[in-house]
Amino acid sequence: MRYDDTAPVLTTKCTDITNGRYGHPTQDRAISAREAALLQTFPPNFQFLGSLKSVTRQIGNAVPVLVSEAMGVHIVRHLQALDRGHG
């Protein structure tokens, strides 16, 4: 990965360096679970439960938090417009 480019889509194997696409941009290692969570826009203090494998699976299967939030806002606005008869 590179600091000046878009991160790849994260999968459940996002902390495994053997997948090739999840290497840290400046260090010879895979990204950590916390770094993967930040890429998925989880808050820095979000607490995951379970083993590292379970946490990595949760992160890789997640829709980025900010994407989910934007979708939710759009759905609410659409439903409000329908209630007002504008849809």
Domain residue spans of the chain: 17-83
Q: Output the pLDDT for position 66.
A: 96
Which band of pLDDT confidence, cut at 50, 70 and 90, is reported for residue 61?
very high
pLDDT band with cut points at 50, 70 and 90 for residue 87:
low
Please state which CATH class domain 17-83 belongs to: alpha beta
Averaged pLDDT, 38-66: 96
- In the predicted structure, residue 85 carries a pLDDT above the cut 90: no
DSSP per-residue codes, 20-76? STTB-SSSSSBPPHHHHHHHTT--TTPPP-S-HHHHHHHHHHPPPHHHHHHHHHHHH
User: For residue 31, is pLDDT > 90?
Assistant: yes
Mean pLDDT of 60-70: 96
